[in-house]
Structure 1
Amino acid sequence: MAVRQRLPELIRALKSAPARPVAKNHLLPSLRRAFSLYDQINLIDNVPDDQLRFQRYTDTGFRVNGVEYEGSLLCYGNFLMSWTPKKFSDITSDSLSIFRTMRPVPEILILGCGRHIEPVDPELRHFICSTGMKLEVLDSRNAASTYNILNEEGRMVAAALLPYGVSS
């Protein structure tokens, strides 16, 4: 009963809190508010050292586990690889052919399209589905965050990410 009485108070406090300005360095959003009303919990900061974690994105690359990477990246579980596509139209079944031989097959492929979500060619979508993966298409900022969450949960997840500055 006490929680019900405090809930309107908490909602008012959250609504009246000043909006934080958007940082120029494009930090990924914190998961604090998604899991708790308290700032003591931040699951992303407690990821084991051997687990990949996207910490920041830029127009030209990403920061993963404290290391800056330029260009597109392909991630699977805790493996990180440089990836050749420079723009969305470069993404083909050949550029994702590694998934023909990868075992175990990831349950989901998160495709980060750059700044804007792009429609996926039906042939590419068919190729991805034929490998046994589900496809999630997002802008690269949200794709990196989604990868963090699913990887942290221990899911078999892969991500193919173009830098955020890429647009069609």
Structure 2
Amino acid sequence: MAARGRALETLPKLIRNLRKDSLSSTRTQAQVLPSLRRAFSLYDQINLINNVPEDQLRFQGYTDTGFTVNGVTYEGSLLCVGNLLTSWGPHKFSEITPESLSIFQIIRPIPEILILGCGRLIEPVDPELRHFIRSTGMKLEALDSRNASSTYNILNEEGRIVAAALLPYGVSS
């Protein structure tokens, strides 16, 4: 009951701050991903926006050539496993092969899902690549890179073991 009272007291301030931020922010070249954190959990407890542990990866924005993760801008394709981040070789969707994802044959624990960021548009995944991903024990979700990075944020925040292989948003077939 006390948590509900604190949440109700904090809600008007949170809404005012969000409105003030949205009115005062100017559009920059990099597009910011919307926060996908909920203001209230299922138990009516306040969940402060962007209150993410320092060691947890969080995609904050994207450009046509890269991503912003935890305040650092990275150019090119990225591969994320849990809270580990590395640059990734493919520059276009046709270069994504079982060999480019071979790290998933050796890492443990195996992520439950691989989120594949296809660039600007969702691309059909080659059956050989789909079979390879299934053979590692992962599920596959192919999305445009903007939505793929947001989905990664949500699943990672939930504490799930998740991986993302992301091409920059400007990539198109």
Q: CA deviation at 1:105?
A: 0.3
Indicate the residue corresponding to 2:148 in structure 1: 143
Q: CA deviation at 1:42?
A: 4.5
Structure 2 length as normaliser, TM-score?
A: 0.78
2:103 alignment partner, one of 95, 98, 105? 98
Indicate the residue corresponding to 1:117 in structure 2: 122
Where do 4+ consecutive residues of structure 1 move more than 3 Å?
19-24, 40-43
Indicate the residue corresponding to 2:112 in structure 1: 107
Mapped partners of 1:115, 1:29: distance in 2: 17
Mapped partners of 2:36, 2:166: distance in 1: 20
1:108–1:158 contact (8 Å) kept in structure 2: yes
Mapped partners of 2:134, 2:99: distance in 1: 14
Percent identity of the aligned residues? 73
User: What letter is aligned with 2:87?
Assistant: S
Aligned-partner SS, 2:99: coil
Q: Runs of 5+ in structure 1 lacking a partner?
A: 1-16
Aligned-partner SS, 1:46: coil
User: What letter is aligned with 2:149?
Assistant: A
Mapped partners of 2:125, 2:75: distance in 1: 24
Q: CA deviation at 1:145?
A: 0.5
State how many pairs are aligned.
146
1:77 alignment partner, one of 70, 79, 82? 82
The verdict on how the C-alpha distance between 1:35 and 1:120 changes in structure 2, with shifts beyond 3 A counting, is: farther
Q: How does 1:53-72 map to 2 (within 5 A)?
A: 53-72=58-77
Indicate the residue corresponding to 2:91 in structure 1: 86
Aligned-partner SS, 2:31: coil
Indicate the residue corresponding to 2:164 in structure 1: 159
Mapped partners of 1:120, 1:113: distance in 2: 9
Mapped partners of 1:72, 1:158: distance in 2: 14
Q: Runs of 5+ in structure 2 lacking a partner?
A: 1-18, 41-45
Residue deviations 1:14-67 (CA, integer Å, cap 9, x gap): xxx9x98994421101225x555xxx8544x01100100111101000111111
Mapped partners of 1:25, 1:131: distance in 2: 35
Superposed CA RMSD in Å reads 2.1
Mapped partners of 1:81, 1:139: distance in 2: 19
1:113–1:139 contact (8 Å) kept in structure 2: yes
Structure 1 length as normaliser, TM-score?
A: 0.81
Mapped partners of 2:74, 2:98: distance in 1: 24
The verdict on how the C-alpha distance between 1:136 and 1:54 changes in structure 2, with shifts beyond 3 A counting, is: same
Mapped partners of 1:42, 1:93: distance in 2: 39
